[in-house]
Amino acid sequence: LQVAAALREGRAVEPESYDCVTIFFSDIVGFTNISGILQPQEVMDMLDRLYRLFDELTGKYRLFKVETIGDAYMTVGNLRTPQQDHAALVARFAIEAVQAANSVMIRSDDSTSGFLSIRAGIHSGPVVASVVGNMNPRYCLFGDTVNVACRMESSSLQNRIQLSKATAQLLVRQAPDLRRCVVSRSGQQAIKGKGFMRTYWLHTKP
């Protein structure tokens, strides 16, 4: 709210550092192919229906929606509001987001068109937040944490949520009831630009 007010009033927004946030990224599996068979208005309608559900979940878990770019959705815990259980909140959001996406028809009036699937990734770490640009200014996050979270998503799979080791460790401490849902992937994963990393799946069911 403070950032929004400053932007409306034309005031500068000072960069802010956060020691540890948890970032969620997702995108739609097969979005390019889906876009190729739909009219632009149908694509817009599909994304609107999906993002309305995600926005409701963002509000439910008191997260901060950073942005949507095409079929990519980004939301964050422990950013504007202090949350000691931010990894748990984002994890619960992610589980419900996967389920919500599976309920969204590609064409709103045609169940035979199929339903959406997403792949998701989560990482926790430090970031700097600031507003960039004068014309259509954007509130952005900066730092390697953002890059790793993005890589967790891009190397994830359909209807899967991939966690970094940092997030997995936070999650099992913050949400003991989700401990059984956190399963290490076999071996270390080759993550673009990061080398090999130990990553984990967050299962949507124990």
Write down the pLDDT at residue 22: 98
Q: How far apart are CA 182 and CA 200, in angstroms?
A: 6
**Bridge pairing between strands 161-164 and 118-132:** parallel
Q: Which structure tokens are listed for 66?
A: 């950073």
Residue type (1 letter), 126: P
Write down the pLDDT at residue 191: 85
How many residues in total does the chain contain?
206
Q: How far apart are CA 78 and CA 173, in angstroms?
A: 16
Number of H helices, E strands in the chain: 6, 12
Name the burial class of residue 51, with classes exposed (0-12), middle (13-18) and buried (19+) by CB atoms within 10 angstroms of its CB: middle
Q: Which structure tokens are listed for 147?
A: 């890059």
pTM: 0.92
- The residues, any chain, with a CB within 8 Å of residue 167's CB and separated by 6 or more, are 22, 87, 90, 91, 122, 123, 124, 200
Q: Which structure tokens are listed for 7?
A: 């932007």
**Is the CB of residue 162 less than 8 Å from the CB of residue 152?**
yes
Write down the pLDDT at residue 19: 96
Domains and CATH numbers, the chain: 2-161 (3.30.70.1230)
Tens of each residue's pLDDT in the chain, 206 residues: 566 666 666 666 778 999 999 999 999 999 999 999 999 999 999 999 999 999 999 999 999 999 999 999 999 999 988 999 999 999 999 999 999 999 999 999 888 889 999 999 999 999 999 888 777 778 889 999 999 999 999 999 999 999 999 999 999 999 999 999 999 987 888 888 888 889 999 998 76
CB atoms within 10 A of CB 156: 23
